[in-house]
């Protein structure tokens, strides 16, 4: 993951995604004394939580919060087409708030206090 500067890898059985391993998973394993270079990756015990393309960002954020995950694979049918991360959601939320602020400022006219 470090080599490609990514924070997670989706684990597949053939072409079917069955799990995900994250930097956090690796850090926890190293903290327990496991050598990540010599350890086989096993799929997670929990069901893989995914979202479909075009889903609202609010829905994806709620799914992530409910499942207590930071990365959400995006599936189109049985094909993995992307991953939504908490960082993506924060950046999108910030961009939406900034756009809304700009819209309000463009429409706001300060009152004329001159008499």
> Which domain covers residue 103, as residue numbers?
8-107
1-5, 12-16, 40-44, 66-70: which has the minimum mean pLDDT?
40-44
Task: Report yes or no on 113 lying in a domain.
Answer: no
Task: Report yes or no on 114 lying in a domain.
Answer: no
The mean pLDDT of 50-61, rounded to a whole number, is 92
Q: Looking at the whole model, is its pTM more than 0.75?
A: no
Q: What DSSP string runs through 2-43?
A: TTTT-SEEEEEETTEEEEEEEHHHHHHHHHTT--GGG-----
The mean pLDDT of 71-98, rounded to a whole number, is 88
Identify the pLDDT of residue 63: 92
**Domain CATH for 46:** 3.10.580.10
Task: Report yes or no on 3 lying in a domain.
Answer: no
Q: What is the DSSP letter of 36?
A: G
| CA 28 – CA 32 distance, rounded (Å) | 6
Average pLDDT over the chain, rounded to whole? 82
The mean pLDDT of 39-63, rounded to a whole number, is 80
């Amino acid at each position: 993951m470090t080599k490609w500067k990514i924070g997670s890898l989706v684990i597949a059985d053939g072409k079917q995604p069955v799990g995900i391993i994250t930097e956090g998973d690796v850090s926890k394993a190293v903290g327990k004394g496991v050598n990540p270079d010599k350890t086989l990756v096993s799929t997670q015990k929990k069901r893989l939580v995914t979202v479909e393309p075009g889903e609202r960002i609010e829905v994806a954020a709620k799914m992530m919060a409910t499942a207590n995950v930071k990365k959400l694979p995006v599936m189109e049918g049985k094909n993995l087409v992307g991953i939504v991360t908490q960082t993506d959601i924060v950046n999108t939320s910030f961009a939406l708030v900034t756009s809304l602020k700009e819209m309000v400022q463009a429409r706001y006219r300060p009152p004329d206090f001159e008499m």
